[in-house]
Structure 1
Amino acid sequence: MKVLKSILQFYINSSIHVGLSCFALVQITQLVFHISQQNEMGYFAFWGTVVGYNFVKYEELARAKKIKMRKQLRWITLFTFGAFIMVGYYFFKLERITQIVAVVFLGLTLLYTLPFFPNKKNARNWAGVKIYIVSFCWVGATVFLPLLNAAVAPTISIGILSIQRFILIFVLILIFEIIDLRHDNSNLRTVPQQIGVKNTKILGFVLLVVFCGLELFNINININFNTSIQSFSLPLIFAIAIALAFANEQRSKYYTSFWVESIPIVWWLLLLFIP
């Protein structure tokens, strides 16, 4: 049991799970627009998420020498280095325009993490900004880059999907912020810190209703829309609503870092294995 727990901790702490969530959303985007499976794009998103999240989680603490290199952290560092090599490998397999846009999103990640200006905090510490930067980066990685790499022409459906994806990630982050409310610095001004847990949940529910409305609108205007996407997306949005409803400060870290982040993976697997 101790070994299984260590494996699970490494799986979550090394950002493999969140990387799979990003990979799943890329695959869903390709299914929505009937794009033939582009494994290079999916793998780039997976490894890029692993590197990005590990860099964000551990870079500042390591730079400030606030953590000791425990055994698991050494393995995570080694794994992240390997993931960085894989990012480079798949980066050069992407189309040139996709590479350029990917570098832009890399710049946003660095802005989010590193203090570029003397005596200034990074974007992660800018009051109330974190949730928007992270949501936008996820839209870029899971919508813009896959469609750009497949040379899909801009359409209304792409705009709707982008808004939906932003809402999806935004609401998932709201759940994280509710769980982390006790530990977050008050200067971060997260949504629950600014409007309270109850109003944060109401905001999340309203956004999920907007998501569903956009889904139905997209189906009505797009005769080529993959109806199986809709048949599974609405129940899974309901699952997110349940997760939001039961979120509170006493929940364990696995509530969000495993169960909530599993929702996109479950969504993709249902689409993959159920006709």
Structure 2
Amino acid sequence: MRIFKNLVDFYIESSLHVAIALYALIRITFLKLDIPYDEAVTHFGFFGTIVGYNFIKYDELARIKKIKLTFRLKAIIVLSILSFFAAFYYFLELHSQTKFVGFIALFITILYTLPFIPNRGNMRNWSGIKIYLVAIAWVGVTVILPVINADYDWNIIVILKCIQRFIFIILLMLIFEIIDLKVDHWHLKTIPQQLGMHKTKILTYLLSFIFVSLDFAKPDITIQNLLTTLSIAIIICLFSFFASTKRNKYYTSFWVESIPLFWWLLCLF
């Protein structure tokens, strides 16, 4: 049992789980927009997520707190290095304009982690900006990147997809912020800190309604697609309803981050 727990912890802490979530969202974009599978985009997104998220999580600890290099952390470093070379390889396979979007995502990651403005710290510590920064980055990688690399025509469907994906990421982040309500520093001014837990949950339900409603604006919507979106919205609302500061880390870092994977699996049936 302990071995299984250690494997799960490594799977989560090494950012493999969040990378699979991003991979699933890219595959959903392919399915929703009828774009052929693109190995370069999906693999760049997957390996780039491992590198980016591990850099965000462990850079400050390594630079400031001088954490001890345990076996698990060494394994994460090795995985991150291998993922960096894999991400770079697939980056070279992308179209020129797609590489530009990749550079923007990299810039956001660096800006999110390293302090560029004196006395302000990094963007992660800027009041109220974290949730929107993360959502924009995920929309860029999971929607805009596949669209541009496929030379897909920009139309109202793509715009609606970007808005819907943005709302989806915000919804997941709100659950994270509810769970972290007691540990987040007050100066972050997260939405639950400003609205309170109850009102944040109501906001989640309202955004979930908008998330589903956006499907009705698509001319080619089918009952199956609508039911899939509705199912995901219900799952998100349930996770939000049962969210509290007493939940353990697996509630968000494993189960909530599994929702994109559930969504992808539903789209396949």
Q: Give the TM-score normalised by the residue count of structure 2.
A: 0.97
- What's the counterpart of residue 41 of structure 2? 41
Corresponding position: 1:268 with 2:264: yes
| Inter-partner Cα distance in structure 2 for 1:60 and 1:155 | 41
- What's the counterpart of residue 54 of structure 2? 54
Corresponding position: 1:207 with 2:207: yes
Corresponding position: 1:4 with 2:13: no
CA RMSD of aligned residues (A): 1.2
Deviation for aligned residue 1:67: 2.2
Deviation for aligned residue 1:213: 1.0
The counterpart of 1:253, out of the listed 234, 249, 255, is: 249
- What's the counterpart of residue 129 of structure 1? 129
Deviation for aligned residue 1:271: 2.2
| Inter-partner Cα distance in structure 2 for 1:246 and 1:2 | 27
- What's the counterpart of residue 244 of structure 1? 240
| Inter-partner Cα distance in structure 1 for 2:265 and 2:206 | 27
Aligned residues: 269
- What's the counterpart of residue 147 of structure 1? 147
Deviations 1:124-175 (A, max 9, x none): 0000000000000000010000000001111111111111100000010000
Deviations 1:69-119 (A, max 9, x none): 222111111111111111101101111100011101211111111012344
- What's the counterpart of residue 229 of structure 2? 233
Unaligned runs of 5+ in 2: none
| Inter-partner Cα distance in structure 2 for 1:177 and 1:203 | 13
- What's the counterpart of residue 96 of structure 2? 96
Q: Give the TM-score normalised by the residue count of structure 1.
A: 0.95
- Quick check: 1:31–1:226 contact (8 Å CA) kept in 2? no
State the AA in 1 paired with 2:36. Answer: S
* Moved segments of 4+, more than 4 Å: none
- Closer, same or farther: CA 148–227 of 1 in aligned 2, 3 Å: farther
State the AA in 1 paired with 2:125. Answer: N
| Inter-partner Cα distance in structure 1 for 2:136 and 2:112 | 12
- What's the counterpart of residue 23 of structure 1? 23
Secondary structure, aligned partner of 2:65? coil
Moved more, 236-245 or 263-272: 263-272
| Inter-partner Cα distance in structure 1 for 2:216 and 2:191 | 28
Q: Which structure 2 residues correspond to residues 161-200 of structure 1 after superposition, within 5 A? A: 161-200=161-200
- Quick check: 1:164–1:211 contact (8 Å CA) kept in 2? yes
| Inter-partner Cα distance in structure 1 for 2:99 and 2:259 | 28
Moved more, 232-241 or 140-149: 232-241
Deviation for aligned residue 1:226: 6.2
- Quick check: 2:212–2:226 contact (8 Å CA) kept in 1? no
| Inter-partner Cα distance in structure 2 for 1:226 and 1:46 | 29
Moved more, 56-65 or 19-28: 56-65
Deviation for aligned residue 1:187: 1.1
